[in-house]
Amino acid sequence: MTRKPVLEHPTLAVIKKAFPDAGLKATEFREMTTVVIPREKIHEVARYLHDSPDCDYDFLADVVGIDYMGYPVEQPGRFAVSYVLASGKHGLRITLKTYVDPSVDTSGIDFDPELEVDSITDIWPGAEWPEREVYDMFGIRFKNHPDLRRILLWRDFPAHPLRKDYPLRGRGEREHYQTLNRESR
Amino acid sequence: MGIEAALPHDSIMTTQFNRVVNWARRSSVWPLPFATACCGIELMATACSRFDLARFGAEVMRFSPRQADLLIVAGRIGIKSLPVLQRIYMQMAEPKWVISMGACASTGGVFDTYAVVQGVDQFIPVDVYVPGCPPRPEMLIEGIMAIQRIIDNDNIPKDQDGKRLPLNIAVQPNFEPSAQPVDVSIGAT
């Protein structure tokens, strides 16, 4: 049973007025509002939400990557990046979301210009580590990120393991190690 | 106590030198706790007063591999921490022994994923496996007693055919099970 989303979030009217032709879409689930933003506009809208006194989203709660491969509902793209924002002044929360679609094979770690989103670390410095985690796990790169390295896995790991086409047990990464025996020195 | 009680106090007793050395080694096993998960909590409980690992001479937890004889791998080992574990094993001075404590260290446990080692025995030698999730302190004490038995015998004891003999270690329960309370039925006379 589908329910029509209730779009009463006060920020929606503000950004609709500020970005009339940005192609923003909004949805809502259980009083949590999500704004879907095209990839090119994410930095601009985030900057506005941070700086404008009507919005004043001073806190970035998290940056999340999502892989929609095999998702039961049709989605605009294979991957998504979500930004959860909070405003202490207005007591509001809002989620920004942008979809990206890969253009090269997703089983490896090759650079994909389609899987690149503008970094928001210049707006919220706290985005640095969450963006590194999204890069580590999904291979979505962040343009102008100050230090885009893997954060959990090591540098030479040959995949991005939270992609749905990566096997749960890995491709032998956990077996390829030197073995010590009792005579090892 | 032992045989010395039967001896006159001014006499001497001869034994083998390695028996004395092994007695000293097994009476002062200094463990290095490589505790990464909930097994580490049971390991701490084992060292504390209720279970009192000091009874077995193994209470001195050493956090430097140079000073430890026994590596207790307690908890899951990620492939990122495996090189650390291997280096710690290499840094321990001979003679050294390894206990793999719990399901995760022994087999990977429920963490059958790309990031978790499926049993540390694939990559370092293990002397004693302590099963459980996590093992109770009594089981870890049994594991340390097994290590002591291995030290005493210079290896796992074997019979003439090369088959392993049972170590015959069991921590006996220190209580007698008594009659359990009976259900009270209301209205019965």
| Residue B115 in contact with partner chain A when CB distance is under 8 A | yes
Looking up tokens 């909004």, which residue turns up? A26
Cross-chain CB nearest to B122 (options A169, A179, A182) = A179
Query: What pLDDT does residue A36 have?
Result: 92
| Residue B94 in contact with partner chain A when CB distance is under 8 A | no
What are A14-35's pLDDT values in tens digits? 888 888 888 888 888 888 899 9
Alpha carbon A184 to its chain centroid, in Å, reads 45
User: Topology of domain A6-167, per CATH?
Assistant: Beta Polymerase; domain 2 (3.30.460)
- For residue B158, the 8-state DSSP code is B
What are A56-72's pLDDT values in tens digits? 899 999 999 999 998 99
Put simply, the answer to whether A170 touches B118 (Cβ < 8 Å) is: no
Whole-number Å distance between alpha carbons of A139 and A108: 9
Judge residue B149's burial from the number of C-beta atoms within 10 Å of its C-beta, 0-12 exposed, 13-18 middle, 19 or more buried.
middle
Where residue A81 falls among pLDDT bands split at 50, 70, 90?
A: very high
Looking up tokens 């002591």, which residue turns up? B148
Whole-number Å distance between alpha carbons of A1 and A23: 27
Domain range annotation of chain A: 6-167
Where residue A154 falls among pLDDT bands split at 50, 70, 90?
A: confident
Alpha carbon A82 to its chain centroid, in Å, reads 4
| Residue A184 in contact with partner chain B when CB distance is under 8 A | yes
- The residue type found at B153 is N
The answer to whether the beta carbons of residues B58 and B144 sit under 8 Å apart is yes
Whole-number Å distance between alpha carbons of B153 and B170: 18
Question: Domains in chain B and their CATH numbers?
Answer: 29-152 (3.40.50.12280)
**pTM for the whole structure:** 0.79
Between B156 and A30, the higher pLDDT residue = A30
Average pLDDT estimate for A111-121: 88
Cross-chain CB nearest to A170 (options B83, B86, B114) = B114
Taking only residues 98 to 157 of chain A, the set having a beta carbon closer than 8 angstroms to any beta carbon of chain B reads: 153-154
Provide φ and ψ at A15, rounded to 5°. -75, -25
Residue of chain A with shortest Cα separation from B120: A179
Where residue B171 falls among pLDDT bands split at 50, 70, 90?
A: low
ipTM of the complex: 0.76
